């Protein structure tokens, strides 16, 4: 293995990069949408990638034609969705972490890189515990320590601060265009995977997670 250390740290988005919770988000939002009688499908669900819980609710309510909800009602709807979502997350286990992702993370660490999480989710630590990565990362910045969600750079700047590295020393891995925008705004390089693959603003494009070894200079 040769090391070309362009980066000191890699900051990973969680949902859609390390593991896949989109379907659980979909099922939980769908239950809520059906209850209030608003149309919701997988295409609308795709727009919720990387977006905060309350902003996700606003996107779902774009199609709602009834009396406007009060802020309190919206908070209670988001809490209801989260309770359903948390129940579904209990089904996750170490089987939801692919060997490709785990092996790649181990090789990146062996290559001397610091590894952090930059997720909009307030459930990030719970999800990581479920998939066996509870104490794996060097730092976690998530929905609980930010005031503005992606595309604002706050979540990644906080991750860099917790990792004690400069923004320009970080590479962000993201599946959401809003996340690539956030990395760009933070002054960080980015690697796009999944839904964000091919997005012009990203520095690298990953066809598969292990392509990160090349993008990060570890192999």
Binding site for ligand B16 (CB under 6 A): 13-16, 25, 48-53, 56, 82, 119-123, 143, 176
* 103 cis-preceded (ω within 30 degrees of 0): no
Q: How far is the CB of 94 from ligand B16 (least distance, A)?
A: 19
| Residue from the set 32, 50, 111, 128 that interacts with Mg ion by CB under 5 A | 50
Q: How far is CA 134 from CA 88, 112, 160, 172, 209, in A?
A: 18, 20, 19, 20, 20
Interacting partner of 104 out of Mg ion, ligand B16, none (Cβ under 5 to 8 A depending on kind): none
Q: Directed axis angle between helix 53-61 and helix 22-36, to 10°?
A: 50
Rounded Cα gap, residues 39 and 131, in angstroms: 32
> Between 18 and 114, whose beta carbon lies closer to ligand B16?
18
Residue of minimal CB distance from ligand B16? 119
Based on the residue annotation, tell me whether 13 is a catalytic residue of this protein. Answer: yes
Tokens of 34: 């059906």
Based on the residue annotation, tell me whether 15 is a catalytic residue of this protein. Answer: yes
Q: Directed axis angle between helix 22-36 and helix 71-89, to 10°?
A: 140
Q: How far is the CB of 5 from ligand B16 (least distance, A)?
A: 26
The site for Mg ion (CB under 5 A) is made up of: 13, 15-16, 50, 175-176
List active site positions: 13, 15
């Amino acid at each position: 293995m040769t090391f070309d250390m362009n980066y000191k740290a890699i900051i990973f988005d969680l949902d859609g990069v390390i593991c896949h919770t989109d379907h659980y988000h979909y099922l939980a939002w769908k239950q809520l949408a059906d209850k209030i009688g608003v149309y919701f499908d997988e295409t609308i669900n795709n727009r919720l990638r990387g977006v905060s819980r309350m902003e996700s609710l606003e996107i779902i309510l774009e199609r709602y034609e009834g009396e406007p909800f009060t802020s309190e009602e919206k908070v209670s709807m988001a809490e209801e969705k989260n309770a359903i979502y948390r129940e579904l997350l209990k089904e996750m286990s170490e089987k939801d972490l692919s060997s490709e992702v785990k092996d790649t993370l181990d090789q990146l660490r062996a290559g001397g890189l610091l590894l952090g999480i930059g997720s909009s989710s307030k459930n990030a630590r719970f999800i990581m515990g479920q998939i066996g990565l509870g104490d794996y990362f060097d730092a976690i910045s998530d929905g609980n320590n930010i005031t503005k969600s992606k595309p604002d750079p706050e979540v990644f700047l906080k991750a860099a601060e917790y990792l004690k590295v400069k923004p320009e020393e970080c590479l962000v891995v993201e599946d959401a265009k809003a996340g690539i925008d956030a990395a760009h705004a933070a002054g960080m390089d980015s690697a796009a995977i999944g839904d964000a693959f091919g997005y012009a603003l990203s520095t690298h494009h990953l066809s598969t997670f292990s392509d990160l070894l090349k993008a990060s200079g570890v192999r």
